[in-house]
Amino acid sequence: MKKSKLAVAAAVTSLLAVGGSLLTSTSALAAEEEKCYGVAKAGQNDCATKMSSCAGTSKKDGQKDAFVVVPKGLCGKLSGGSTMSS
């Protein structure tokens, strides 16, 4: 095998290994977070809402169907925060 093909194969293998470990880390991190509805500032939501198609498009502060991801347990402590979309 040529050195250039060997280098490419090694690089691809490394990327796949790193990608696999990131998926595991992301899953563990997701278990420690929750969606908190009703606390995002206008234009600061993390994902789509019922009225808009992507992140950063909420129209007003505290929009009930817009959420931000926060550490698990924090949402209930925030004024207006809810783990359920209305």
**pLDDT per residue over 20-67, tens digit each?**
444 444 555 567 999 999 999 998 888 877 777 778 888 889 988 889
Show the domain range for 10. Answer: 1-31
Give residue 9's pLDDT band: very low, low, confident or very high (50, 70, 90). low
Residue 74 shares a structural domain with residue 51? yes
pTM reported for the whole predicted model: 0.59
DSSP symbols for 18-66: HHHHHHHHHHHHHHTEEEEET-PPTT--SS--SS-SSTT---STT-TT-
Are 26 and 41 part of one and the same domain? no
One domain, residues 76 and 45? yes
Domain count, the chain: 2
* Domain match, 52 and 82 both: yes
Please give the pLDDT value at position 38: 92
Are 25 and 37 in a shared domain? Answer: no
The pLDDT, as a whole number, for residue 47 is 82
Q: Measure the CA–CA gap between 40 and 43, rounded to whole angstroms.
A: 8
Amino acid at 72: K
Query: Do 62 and 77 share a structural domain?
Result: yes
Q: Do residue 41 and residue 73 come from a single domain?
A: yes
